[in-house]
């Protein structure tokens, strides 16, 4: 079976086949086998190449947030409802990026200041959710136009955190 979805706003097309008790995942020439079993309603036990992992899945509107090995990943269906840009951001007509919180949590650090130039993949802020730190990164070179949050603030999913202005 083939599946299409966005992982952290990046499109993936994956085929999945059952091989005995495991699943064989293939994408763009790469493949791996995984034995996946439910532990509870939101927790899965995953064994890949003899290594055991525990994944927690949280539903938030039309997307799922997967917590695995201290990292969070947003998984959603592609389409009109899904944002087309990396890191919980949306572009405006004025050439700005609106960076939003990927999930409800607490802002534990703001790494930039208004007027500062930022580079691609630079950490802009860190949001803690479910005892896990989630780095919010810039997807391109830009200038910080406005910061809409502060350290320690509790934020809802998709709350505007930072506005960036694209470099011209």
Long-range CB contacts (within 8 A, 24+) of 76-84 = 76/5, 76/6, 77/4, 77/5, 77/6, 78/4, 78/5, 78/6, 78/11, 82/6, 82/9, 83/9, 84/9
Q: Which two tokens stand for residue 148?
A: 């809409």
Find the mean pLDDT for residues 117-126: 91
pLDDT, tens only, 18-54: 988 899 999 888 889 999 999 988 899 999 988 999 9
The pLDDT, as a whole number, for residue 94 is: 56
2-76 is classed CATH 2.60.40: no
Residue recorded with tokens 């997307």: 63
The pLDDT, as a whole number, for residue 168 is: 62
Of 75-79, 92-96, 103-107, 134-138, least confident by mean pLDDT is: 92-96
The pLDDT, as a whole number, for residue 162 is: 93
The pLDDT, as a whole number, for residue 19 is: 87
pLDDT at 152 over 50: yes
Residue recorded with tokens 């992982």: 7
Find the mean pLDDT for residues 74-99: 60
CATH number of 89-166: 2.40.50.100
Q: Where are the domains of the chain?
A: 2-76, 89-166
pLDDT, tens only, 59-68: 887 788 899 8
Task: Kindly list the strands in the beta sheet with 154-155, ordered across the sheet, starting from the edge strand earlier in the chain.
Answer: 132-137, 123-129, 105-110, 154-155
Find the mean pLDDT for residues 7-17: 83
Q: Which two tokens stand for residue 101?
A: 């919180």
Dihedral sign from CA coordinates of 107, 82, 9, 148: negative
The pLDDT, as a whole number, for residue 90 is: 57
């Amino acid at each position: 079976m083939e599946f299409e979805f966005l992982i952290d706003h990046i499109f993936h097309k994956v085929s999945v086949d059952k091989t005995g008790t495991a699943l064989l995942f293939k994408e763009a020439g790469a493949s791996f086998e995984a034995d996946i079993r439910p532990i509870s309603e939101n927790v899965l036990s995953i064994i890949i190449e003899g290594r055991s992992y525990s994944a927690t899945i949280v539903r938030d509107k039309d997307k799922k947030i997967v917590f695995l090995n201290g990292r969070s990943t947003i998984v959603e269906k592609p389409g009109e409802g899904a944002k087309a840009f990396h890191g919980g951001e949306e572009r405006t007509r004025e050439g700005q990026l609106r960076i939003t919180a990927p999930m409800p949590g607490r802002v534990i650090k703001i790494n930039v200041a208004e007027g500062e130039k930022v580079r691609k993949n630079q950490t802009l802020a860190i949001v803690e959710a479910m005892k896990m730190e989630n780095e919010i990164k810039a997807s391109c070179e830009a200038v910080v136009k406005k910061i809409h949050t502060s350290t320690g603030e509790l934020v809802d999913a998709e709350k505007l955190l930072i506005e960036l202005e694209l470099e011209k």
